[in-house]
Structure 1
Amino acid sequence: MVTDAHKDWSEYLPLALWAYRTTRHGTIGVTPFSLVYGVEAVLPAEIEVPTARILLDEARDREAGLQELEEKREVVGSKMEEYHRRLALAYDKHVRPRVFLEGDLVLKSVDAVMRKMSLPKWTPKWEGPYIVSEVHPNGHCILLDPDHGTTTGPINFKYVKKYYA
């Protein structure tokens, strides 16, 4: 389709989009075209030789069509929620929960790492050790610096790792 120069891709983009929009998607079970316009797309061949679908569609009541479109969107919404739920379950199977107890020794990411700033190559990315003074069930903890006797603000578990002395 596209020539060797690969510069005429824009001529074929409308055809590719048409194919994408009129193909039934496995996740939602309908075509994106029908979700937007409420009816299936009329293929160019069906204009010349009317099919039974085209003849029946002309006689269909438009209000019934709008009601059907709303129902179809609700069904697709519930299918998408189910898909996202299954996707989350599959992801959660491979996630290791991080468990910290009060009194554990841990290392904390340096502030530059937490703020996604770049650091020089050989700069340490972890500081500590700290002692876990409070653990909260929503995924953060308060750390105690044993050298200075000060506590940190709440720190997410993703910025803390166990220290093995």
Structure 2
Amino acid sequence: MTMEIEKGWKEELPTALWAYRTAKSQATGASPFSLVSGIEFVIPIYLVRPAVKLAQIAGIPKEDTLEIMEEMRDNAASHNRLYQANMKARHEGQVKERKFQVGQLVWKAAPHVRGVAGAVKHKFSPKWERPYIVEEAHATGHIG
């Protein structure tokens, strides 16, 4: 059984790569293929014909097949809108609004926490630098 699985990956790899490269990402809304080439991927006709032929064999009229495909696309689009709305709500739920005032003590994140290039991080590195006093605060609440 293990030998069969180990030998079969060579035949399945092109199909898996094709599926990955042409599938749209939830995060970007685009496929890796379209990001690299600048155009959307078009499904080769030799892949579409068997599906249409199977529908004809099953006795499903071509118009019904197209309606089913359109309905599937609409369902996918509504699912994507729902997914995006959920992600937005989750993100906004985690963001805390903070308004700073002059004279307030604040901690500044250490360089390795802020993502400064070349910042050295050790196992026991502090995540914050010493407290700072706010000297200027804008109407929006951010520190100048």
What's the TM-score once normalised by structure 1's chain length?
0.43
Higher-Rg member (1/2): 1
Higher helix proportion (structure 1 or 2)? 2
Instruction: Give the TM-score of the pair, scaled to structure 2.
Output: 0.48
Structure 1 or 2: more strand by fraction: 1
